[in-house]
A = this chain, B = another copy of it.
Amino acid sequence: MRLSTKAQYAVRAMVDLSLNSAGRPVSLKEISRREEIPLNYLEQLFYRLKKGNIVESVRGPGGGYILARGSSHILVGDIVATVEEPLNPVACLDEGSEVCSRISRCVTHDVWKGLGERIRGFLDSITLEDLTREARGVSSEE
């Protein structure tokens, strides 16, 4: 029941982006340095994030990425779902999949379905703005 590092990296990178973008685009190079995430790996992640309409890119010198919308409208669940395709606990929930077993029409199916809904529900209850605000608070504390 592990989240992939993709998801962890993506969320951290998005917080970093939101935190350090003062109107201007932020390059992956910067994020890579600050967050210690391999640049090439970040590229893959942002490729997906862009296709998921979570960020927009600005090409050329001085370019980079910017948020596609206000951070209060970007949910952690969006980021995770975009980068880690099917957020379902079991394969049969994915799309055109068959039932896993015949016993009583698979009672356990509903359990996993409910679990998936809880997971999504929780991650969708947190916005990028929440994390950014918290990050600012934490770094000035102590």
A1: Cβ under 8 A from any B Cβ: yes
State the CA gap A1–B12 with chains docked (Å): 18
19 contacts across the A-B interface (CB closer than 8 A): A1-B84, A1-B87, A1-B88, A1-B89, A2-B89, A2-B90, A3-B115, A8-B100, A12-B101, A12-B108, A15-B104, A35-B103, A76-B111, A104-B138, A105-B139, A111-B123, A115-B123, A118-B122, A119-B119
Specify which of B15, B36, B101 is in contact with A108 (CB 8 Å cutoff).
Answer: B15
Interface size class of A (residues with CB under 8 A): 35 or more
Q: How far is the CB of A3 from chain B (nearest CB, A)?
A: 4
A78: Cβ under 8 A from any B Cβ: no
